[in-house]
Structure 1
Amino acid sequence: MPIEWYATATAPTAQQTDYKISKSTIVLSEQGQGKLPDGAAVKLGYDADRNVIAIAPATDGDKTAFKISRRGRGIQQQITAKKLFQRFGIAPVEGGIEGNFEEADGILIASLAGSGTTKRRRRTKAEMAAAAAEVTAE
């Protein structure tokens, strides 16, 4: 009889996303950083019809380029895109939108529409009280 070895059951892990857009900042995960060419700056564009932000490498000396900076102590990097949001009248994103880049002609495309999935968050005391009151009313 062959020996069967013990192995832990591995749960499927959630797919890691390339970016998270929160307020007017684009945070790049390690996976998303790998899709950008090496460099300290990018050009950002906006397509209102598709509601997407385009990210392309910037040339040296480009005065309209956005700097990529390190975020906190981790390995994530961020692009502060406040000027882009103001210029095109994009409302700051509340709650955050996560997604994976689409690639077209060397340009990365980040959707502002979101993936339809909602992140779990802790309910406030007021929300919990309202839910409890709703249950007791029934």
Structure 2
Amino acid sequence: MTHHDHCVFCSPEQETRQREILSNESCIFYQMPQEILIGSGLIVPRLHRVNVFELTDKEWHDTFTLVKQVKEHLDELHNPDGYNLQWNTDGAAGQHLFHSHLHIIPRFKNEPLVGIDLRSFLGKDDNKRPFSSN
């Protein structure tokens, strides 16, 4: 048994709620039922890549192509006012599933947290790292 056997993207039957919505040769757009982030989902390479820096040139190209198709799909279904796209890479950045995945999150003007992005949280004084003088 390999670590890929425990990966919900390499073995999608492990996560019965996720649905394949769109795909191309090397990437899949998955969604799961959401009560808050309506329309959000993940673009995932078909082959196991731990993070975005392991993607091949072909996977990068196919990811970008799929992003545009996903946007068209979500625009038709939900007509969002904006999008957040985000990769978390490694534990310090909040990656919990170690198979590369791009978050696509439609945003709406009537959300309580409209206009708030990841940098709004990370750029606060309470997130300032201590630096040594060495």
Structure richer in strand, relative to its length? 1
RCO higher in structure (CA 8 A, sep ≥6): 1
Same fold judged by TM-score > 0.5? no
Bigger Rg, which one:
1
TM-score by length of 2: 0.31
Structure richer in helix, relative to its length? 2
